Amino acid sequence: MSPRIRGMLQLGAAVAALAPVVLIAATPAQAAGRTSAVCVHQFTTTISPGFTLAPTSGTQTTNGETGSIACVGTIAGNRITGTGSVGYAMAHRGASCSSEKGSGTVSATIPTTAGAQHLVGVLTVQRTALAIRATGQFVRLRYSGVGVAIPKQGMCPVSPLRRAVLVFTGTLSGA
C-alpha cells in the first residue's frame, strides 16, 4: 500500500475514532421543543463521471438513505433513541481532484422518543482535496458538519475517483 493511501486511511480512521469523543464531550442541553444534537454519519457516494485533474460537471449520490447517522440530543424536544439512516443526491460543476462545490438534497430518518423523524432538506457542499464542509437546511432546522472522503474506487490523479466513503461529524440545531 502506498504511503499516500495509508495516510488517507489513517486520516479517515482518526475522524471515526474521534467521533465518539466529540459526541460525549458535546452532548447538547435538551430544551423543550428545540433541536440540538451532535451527529456522526457515514455513507458511500458514487461520483459520475468521476473526479480527475480536469474540472468537470456531474452528479453524486448515495442511492437513497443507505448511510448511517448516530446522534446524541433532541429533535423538536424529543430525545434521539438510536441510529438512523441518511443519504443525498447532488450536482457539482467545475469539480476536480483538488476541489468541488455542489448542491442538492439530503434526507435522514432519525429515531426519537416520539417516533422516527424524517428530515428532507437542501444540501450545500464545499470540498478541498479530501476535506469536506457540508450544510443542510431543513424546515426550521440546520445542519453543519465537516468530514473526510476516503477513496474506495479510483485515486486522484492516477485514476478518476468514482466512489468514496464519507465520514462526518456535525450539529443539528433549530426550533
Report pTM. Answer: 0.81
Read off the amino acid at residue 45. Answer: T
Q: The domain containing residue 100 runs over which residues?
A: 3-174
- pLDDT at position 116: 98
Across residues 43-68, what is the average pLDDT?
97
- C-alpha Rg value of the chain to the nearest Å: 16
Beta pairing partners, 153: 163
State the DSSP code for 7: H
User: How many domains does the chain divide into?
Assistant: 1
- pLDDT at position 6: 47
Query: 152 to each of 3, 8, 71, 75, how far by Cα in Å?
Result: 16, 11, 25, 33
Across residues 67-90, what is the average pLDDT?
97
**Which pLDDT tens digit goes with each residue over 100-133?**
999 999 999 999 999 999 999 999 999 999 999 9
Q: From CA 16, how far away is CA 75, in angstroms rounded?
A: 23
**Which pLDDT tens digit goes with each residue over 10-25?**
444 444 444 444 443 3
- pLDDT at position 112: 98
Q: What is the mean pLDDT of the chain?
A: 87
Return the SS3 of 118. Answer: strand
Between 73 and 20, name the one with better pLDDT: 73
- pLDDT at position 175: 77
